[in-house]
Structure 1
Amino acid sequence: MRDNSSMNLYLYQLKSLILKEYKEAFRDKRALLVALMMALLAPVAIVLMSKIMIEKLVDEPPVYVNFNGAEYAPKLIKYFADNNLLNLVDAPVDEKLIWQQRNIVMDIPQDYETDMAQGKPIKLYLRADFTDKAVGPPVRRINNAVRSYSLSIGYKRLLLRGVDVRLLNPLTLVEQDTAKPDATFILISMMLGIYLMLAAFMSGLSVAIDSSAGERERNVLEMLLCQPVSTLQIVLAKLIGASTISIIGVVLVLVLTSLSVGLVDLTKIGATFTLDIMTSLTLLLLLLPICFFASACQLFVAFQTKSFKEAQSTVSILIGIPAFIPFVVSMMDDRPQWLNWLPVAGQSMIIENIFKGVDVNWLAFLATSVVTIAITVTLVVVLAKKLRSEKVVMALS
């Protein structure tokens, strides 16, 4: 009976502390909105960048070039026009100034037709500021167009001389992509995976800092420690409060992304992308340990700082973890098996496989979740012990 009453008292105290943390977290609506800003802006960023990328890959907007000597090569100019490479004089008024500043010039020699008729090599001079990033894509399109036109003329010359052009390509490699249709749209997959990780780390960041370094500066922490509650209860309440906001951020990213992706016309690149209920639940279950892990790391680091301002600058460094680790993992060709066990790295690889349409490796899913939870529990226990020290509570050197 005494054990049951002690447990009931323990749970009642923990419940009261959690409610207190929730009141603190949801009291300032403006701070809460800032905390969830990442989750709200992520779907917008995905839609905008996807549309820009699709436009560059498929639509091929007009490129305006200042052709010097266009009258000497009418067929070449027509071929350029068919590939949406147009003369600068034909540019619309609202775009002409932009292309004049880019100043892409092609010089066509006066003896172009004579040399072409005699089969002599012809040099076309393309002048532009190649260090300008805005000039790069148009120049690549011009290079490809010139190379394609040159090859077509070369093939015709060989045919006239009775040479089979197939002799130039004795081997042909046929690539057959075995990826599922949902995996073809890699841009959304990579961005959404990173945004989900960032949402888990960023959404609860301000709550974690305020409930640790902030409460210490306001002397709230000292008052809590004077109450008949354990330091473990205090840490658990703060962890649950910050993690709840992180989970809300992840859910918002999943829900808003599933709605906003419908605004992108993926059929232009022959791709499909959907976030069904089962996939969303799998992702949420995978990221739940990360939400607690992120909040535990932030609380642990924040309590080691001397002031609220120092905590803000120090804890913010942790945001680089969900961006840096998935990037490094994606660049690795041969990934060690132990990466499947690590927090963030293991989750990022599973998310990547989910969006590729690969079946979930539930053993790796369980392994990385268990390791993440184990590290989180360790951080909580160590922090609970540290809160018994005056150095941490009073921020003493």
Structure 2
Amino acid sequence: MNTVPTKLQRSRAFLTVFLKEVKENLRDRRTLISAFLTGPLLGPVLFVMLINITLNRELDKAEKPLPVPVIGAEYAPNLVDALKAGGVVPGAAVADPEQAVRKQEADVVLRIASNYGKAWRKGEPVQVELFYDSSQRDANTSVERVTQLVEGYARQQGALRLVARGLSPSTAWPLQVARRDQATPQSRAVLMFAMLPYFFVITIFMGGMYLAIDLTAGERERQSLEPLFANPVPRWKILCGKLAAICTFSTASLLITLLAFAVVGQFIPAEKLGMELDLGVHFAAHVLLLMLPLVLLLSALQSMVAAFAKSYREAQTYLSLLMLVPIIPSAVLSFMPIKAQAWMYAVPLLGQNLGIMQLLRGDGVSAEQVGLCLAGSLVAALIAVLATIQLYRSERLAISV
């Protein structure tokens, strides 16, 4: 008579553990904030705000009048007029141009030599100096703007000199390079959103981190694992129930992030830079598909690492170090651009990164690439799950001291 309830209880162990952990952690404010607020919402909002601020500043510098101190403006009035026509406002000369740009008193300083007029009338080459600090990224737009105006004026005057001598301006340029940029407005968006895959991975990580800590190191510290393991239920079922709860929170966190990017992405003025950004349903569905095996992999790794800790605080330290791992593929692709090979899609994290970058470019991902990405990450996830199961079989796991 007692055999049937026991079998039913064992068959429902996974669901029981899963529902228990989900209900308990839905009441945990720290877990809810981490899973549904800090990572999923705060990240996209801050990301878009920073991009908007940066774009607006760069566009202002490219369109608004640009004040530039000019030393020796009286020696080249025509050049100064050309600069004015291009939106440059010549300012008062500074005594020390080097210090002016180093102290960020000016983005760029133009100095015209006193022999400019004499050399110009003789038809000799003349030189002007641009002082700037290339380490000041905020000044790059101003420097580029002034440089283009000066070089444009130089080309124009050079052509006029050739015409005055009865020569065609093309004589000075026997070879012309015709550039055929094949980048589409959508593919150019990759230059600005190269770190987007990292946001998705970190969202998954943050969504399940506190839950993973609480379900292993937390219960171990509260001495609640031992009575749980004392039940006549295989420990792998207990682990699977806990992993399912962690995956649920991580997936929910990812869905909120995808929704948040779809909404706030509409406020990015990408069209002003000749870019096109599509973070809608098609993009979100493919990202979710690519990320699902990664949800299981990260949940298993978090549970495994947290199981080595004897306290909640110690587990936080371990997982904070583990959080550095997801940034590696994004950092490698940012500093060492590589041409994607088929086998790379089978590498966990790297495959997701490459797939999302292709989606951003508008190229899409092929069935083969998706298959490799899912297969590679699932194999790694299964290995991590099996390793965690072995760890759960140890009696030391239930001991808090």
In the superposition, the TM-score normalised over structure 2's length comes to: 0.86
After superposition, the Cα gap between the structure-2 partners of 1:181 and 1:143, relative to the gap in structure 1 and judged at 3 Å, is: closer
C-alpha distance in 2, partners of 1:204/1:293? 11
Corresponding position of 1:81: 84
Residues 219-252 of structure 1, C-alpha deviations (whole Å, 9 max, x = no match) = 1222211222221122112211222221122111
Shift of 1:57: 5.9
After superposition, the Cα gap between the structure-2 partners of 1:7 and 1:78, relative to the gap in structure 1 and judged at 3 Å, is: farther
Residues 133-188 of structure 1, C-alpha deviations (whole Å, 9 max, x = no match) = 444443343333322322222222122222222230423333141x5543232245
After superposition, the Cα gap between the structure-2 partners of 1:129 and 1:373, relative to the gap in structure 1 and judged at 3 Å, is: closer
Q: Which residue identity is paired with 2:69? A: N
Pairs within 5 Å for 1:352-391? 352-391=357-396
2:330 corresponds to 1:326: yes
C-alpha distance in 2, partners of 1:116/1:303? 78
Pairs within 5 Å for 1:87-166? 87-88=90-91, 101-103=104-106, 104-166=108-170
2:73 corresponds to 1:70: yes
SS in 2 for 1:358: coil
Shift of 1:309: 2.2
Do 2:66 and 2:87's aligned partners in 1 also have CA atoms closer than 8 Å?
yes
2:339 corresponds to 1:338: no
Structure 2 gap ranges (5+): 94-99
Corresponding position of 1:200: 204
After superposition, the Cα gap between the structure-2 partners of 1:99 and 1:63, relative to the gap in structure 1 and judged at 3 Å, is: farther
Shift of 1:296: 0.9
Do 2:223 and 2:399's aligned partners in 1 also have CA atoms closer than 8 Å?
no
Residue identity over aligned pairs, in percent, reads: 28
SS in 1 for 2:12: helix
After superposition, the Cα gap between the structure-2 partners of 1:99 and 1:71, relative to the gap in structure 1 and judged at 3 Å, is: farther
C-alpha distance in 2, partners of 1:129/1:273? 33
Corresponding position of 1:351: 356
Corresponding position of 1:46: 47
Deviates more, 1:124-133 or 1:11-20: 124-133
SS in 2 for 1:290: helix
Pairs within 5 Å for 1:186-335? 186-187=190-191, 189-329=193-333, 331-335=336-340
Corresponding position of 2:21: 21
Shift of 1:56: 6.0
Corresponding position of 1:393: 398
Q: What is the RMSD computed on CA atoms of the aligned residues?
A: 3.0
Corresponding position of 2:96: none
C-alpha distance in 1, partners of 2:6/2:84? 83
Corresponding position of 2:33: 33
C-alpha distance in 2, partners of 1:41/1:72? 55
Q: How many pairs were matched up?
A: 388
Corresponding position of 2:10: 10
Corresponding position of 1:93: none
Shift of 1:303: 0.9
C-alpha distance in 1, partners of 2:74/2:384? 75
Shift of 1:395: 5.8
After superposition, the Cα gap between the structure-2 partners of 1:108 and 1:172, relative to the gap in structure 1 and judged at 3 Å, is: closer
After superposition, the Cα gap between the structure-2 partners of 1:41 and 1:367, relative to the gap in structure 1 and judged at 3 Å, is: same
Structure 1 gap ranges (5+): 91-96
Deviates more, 1:234-243 or 1:383-392: 383-392
C-alpha distance in 1, partners of 2:340/2:133? 40
After superposition, the Cα gap between the structure-2 partners of 1:390 and 1:137, relative to the gap in structure 1 and judged at 3 Å, is: same
Do 1:64 and 1:87's aligned partners in 2 also have CA atoms closer than 8 Å?
yes
C-alpha distance in 1, partners of 2:89/2:81? 9
SS in 2 for 1:229: coil
Residues 72-129 of structure 1, C-alpha deviations (whole Å, 9 max, x = no match) = 3222223223333323469xxxxxx999842443332334333322223333233455
Do 1:353 and 1:359's aligned partners in 2 also have CA atoms closer than 8 Å?
yes
SS in 1 for 2:365: coil
After superposition, the Cα gap between the structure-2 partners of 1:127 and 1:269, relative to the gap in structure 1 and judged at 3 Å, is: closer
C-alpha distance in 1, partners of 2:261/2:174? 45
Shift of 1:353: 1.4
